[in-house]
Amino acid sequence: MVDEETYKASTYAPVNIAVIKYWGKRDTKLNLPTNSSLSVTLSQDDLRTHTTASCSSTVEKDSLTLNGKDQDVSGARTQACLRELRRLRKDVEEKDGSAPKLSELKLKIVSENNFPTAAGLASSAAGFAALVRAIADLYQLPATPTELSRIARQGSGSACRSLFGGYVAWQQGDKEDGSDSLAYEVAPASHWPEMRAVILVASAEKKDVSSTAGMQQTVATSALFKHRAENVVPGRMKAMEAAIHDRDFAAFAQLTTRDSNNFHACCADTDPPIFYMNDTSRAAVRMCEAINAAAGNVVCAYTFDAGPNAVVYYLAEHEKEVAGTFKALLGEKTGWEGKRGGAVEAVKKLPEGMEVAAELLSSGVSRII
């Protein structure tokens, strides 16, 4: 019997952006991927979900609110996470007879994103990672982030990578039960602290084709995708880990942009085709290429997820060339001038021949983060 005491734990999890993309499942129930992936976790001050989990005998049903709105907890993915966490708590209670029987109580979960929901950024990764960690903390589970990644992955594949900061890999694994499909830290953020990113929000709309549906359409129809999963990604995972280890930005950038383009080529090769990038996205690509050409060096790398927003990575020493170019173009956009962008110096002159791309960007980008 547990008295009416309320047990509570709070935590947060950051948004992560993949530089080697996850796309395709070999098991849709367990979210087991067809290839490994690797992400860079944005600094926690930037974009994150904060979650508080509590339980007491007075809570009548499991509930979840996100930014004050009730969410459905009956879906298979949320249920899988809750079931696994309660099972682990039961183990704790069986080992220690004096541990309160929290596994028998209903959960109240309250989440807040510190980024605008309308920014069109994938929030399921940070959301499920924060949910799993908050409940694991509440239950005082003796689980490492890698062990928790197995559970968060069942909520949303990319969530397993948000249990760590810095540079994170999700190894696909080959076991049928998914016990080896886990995330691990490649390097902490402090290993390469000069890494920066700007996000150009080209659409805040909900995407036409959800990742979950889109990726299985790709698995079912694209021969290019089969080639990607079998022949392209394994080598890139090794090369990306080496680039991060060596802090080799040129190699990091080339792998990042080529993997994004390869992923979007597989989307185009899907039947019917899926288009996530739009004219604004392509203008961002051209602008990055022009910034690199003008610098005579690879100083920035773009990547696009299942939507048109550009994430542009660069090193602090190239802030003016990269962020300063976007500031010159888009400086007055909401969320940039006053915040982080306040410290960025705008370039005086845009790269040669970029008038059309500049026009497309300034009309298509609604927000810079």
Q: Which string of x and - marks every residue 13-42 that binds ligand 2P0 (by CB under 6 A)?
A: -----x--xxx-------x-----x-----
Is residue 33 a contact partner of residue 21, using CB atoms and an 8 Å limit?
no
Summary count for the chain: helices (H), strands (E): 10, 15
Nearer to ligand 2P0, 18 or 290 (CB): 18
Assigned token pair, 234: 């394994």
Q: Which of residues 160-199 bind ligand 2P0 (CB under 6 A)?
A: none
Task: Scan residues 198-257 and list those touching ligand 2P0 (CB under 6 A).
Answer: 211-212
Size of interface with ligand 2P0, in residues (CB under 6 A):
15
Nearer to ligand 2P0, 103 or 181 (CB): 181
Query: Residue-wise over 148-164: b if at least 16 C-beta within 10 A, else e?
Result: bbbbbbbbbbbbbbbbb
The two tokens of residue 164 are 């760590």
Give the shortest CB-292-to-ligand 2P0 separation in angstroms: 23
CB of 37 to ligand 2P0, least distance (A): 5
Q: Give the Cα separation of 116 and 276 in Å (integer).
A: 20
**C-beta of 168 vs 300, nearer to ligand 2P0:** 168
Q: Is 157 in the site for ligand 2P0 (CB under 6 A)?
A: yes
Give the Cβ contact number of residue 213 at 10 Å: 10
- How many angstroms separate the CA atoms of 181 and 185, rounded? 14
Question: Which residues lie below 8 Å from residue 345, measured CB to CB, with a gap of 6+?
Answer: 319, 320, 324, 327
Give the interface segment with ligand 2P0, choosing from 132-140, 152-160, 246-254, 312-320 (CB under 6 A).
152-160
Q: Where are the beta strands (DSSP E) in 137-236?
A: 167-170, 183-187, 195-201
Residue among 305 and 321 whose Cβ is closer to ligand 2P0: 305
Q: Which is nearer to ligand 2P0, 20 or 329 (CB)?
A: 20
Q: Does 124 bind ligand 2P0 (CB under 6 A)?
A: yes
C-alpha angle 132/148/75, rounded to 5°?
A: 45
Footprint of ligand 2P0 on 285-324 (CB under 6 A): 305-306
Residue ranges binding ligand 2P0 (CB under 6 A): 18, 21-23, 31, 37, 122, 124, 156-158, 211-212, 305-306
